[in-house]
């Protein structure tokens, strides 16, 4: 058995862009660790993903906004959000003074 520490292997230098590291992948899912350091989605851009994504904030702070919402939702460590397929969303803000570490699970939606 191999033990993985989700806070290990972080670079010492400042991050020019978000650091996305694959953690685990299967036939119908992908789990990633995302490290942000004051990063946000570019102005005017939105994510629109073909599959659902579940994210949990492990460390730091962030603001996540869905299209049509007047204000972003503040996230603290331990907060989790299920983002449905094609739900337009963006990261409005991540803490510039503390690294924000997320786990993101991309998966196939169950067929109905």
- Domain membership of residue 31 (yes or no) is yes
User: From CA 24, how far away is CA 87, in angstroms rounded?
Assistant: 24
Q: Give Cβ neighbours of residue 66 (< 8 Å, ≥ 6 apart).
A: 73, 87, 88, 89
User: From CA 77, how far away is CA 55, in angstroms rounded?
Assistant: 11
- Domain membership of residue 6 (yes or no) is no
| pTM for the whole structure | 0.90
pLDDT in tens, 25-78: 999 999 999 999 999 999 999 999 999 999 999 999 999 999 999 999 999 999
Tally the domains of the chain. 1
Residue 110 confidence (pLDDT) above 90: no
- Domain membership of residue 65 (yes or no) is yes
- Domain membership of residue 4 (yes or no) is no
- Domain membership of residue 60 (yes or no) is yes
- Domain membership of residue 66 (yes or no) is yes
CATH code assigned at 43: 2.60.120.10
The parent domain of residue 57 ranges over: 19-88+96-107
- Domain membership of residue 11 (yes or no) is no
Give the model's confidence band at 101: pLDDT under 50 very low, under 70 low, under 90 confident, else very high.
very high
């Amino acid at each position: 058995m191999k033990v993985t520490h989700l806070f290990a292997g972080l670079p010492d230098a400042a991050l020019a862009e978000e650091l996305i590291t694959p953690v685990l992948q299967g036939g119908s899912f992908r789990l990633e660790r995302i490290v942000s350091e004051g990063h946000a989605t570019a102005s005017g851009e939105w994510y629109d993903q073909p599959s659902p994504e579940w994210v949990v904030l492990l460390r730091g702070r962030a603001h996540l906004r869905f299209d049509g919402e007047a204000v972003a939702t503040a996230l603290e460590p331990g907060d989790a959000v299920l983002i449905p397929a094609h739900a337009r969303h963006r990261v409005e803000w991540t803490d510039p003074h503390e690294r924000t570490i997320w786990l993101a699970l991309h998966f196939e939606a169950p067929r109905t």
